[in-house]
């Protein structure tokens, strides 16, 4: 299984998976929201991790 970073667009809820080694997407590929609306999702248990 490949590891990937998971981001979610706060505007449309689109899930964006980015392989490790690639940068955070600069915009949502679905709705075009800027990176400021794209938040990293922690793949671990809820409540763990830092904002």
Closer of 36 and 45 to Zn ion (Cβ) = 36
CB atoms within 10 A of CB 48: 8
Q: Within positions 1 to 51, which residues make up the interface with Zn ion, using CB under 5 A?
A: 9, 11-12, 14, 28, 30-31, 33
Number of neighbouring beta carbons within 10 Å of residue 7: 19
In Å, how far from its chain's centre is CA 9?
7
CB 10 → Zn ion: shortest distance, Å?
8
Nearest Cα neighbor of 27 from 12, 41, 42 is 12
Closer to Zn ion by CB, 36 or 44: give it.
36
Give the footprint of Zn ion on this chain (CB under 5 A).
9, 11-12, 14, 28, 30-31, 33
């Amino acid at each position: 299984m490949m590891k990937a970073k998971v981001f979610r667009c706060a505007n449309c809820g689109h899930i964006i998976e980015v392989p490790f080694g690639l940068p955070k997407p600069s915009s949502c590929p679905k709705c075009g929201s800027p990176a400021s609306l794209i938040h990293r999702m922690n793949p671990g248990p809820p409540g763990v991790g830092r904002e």
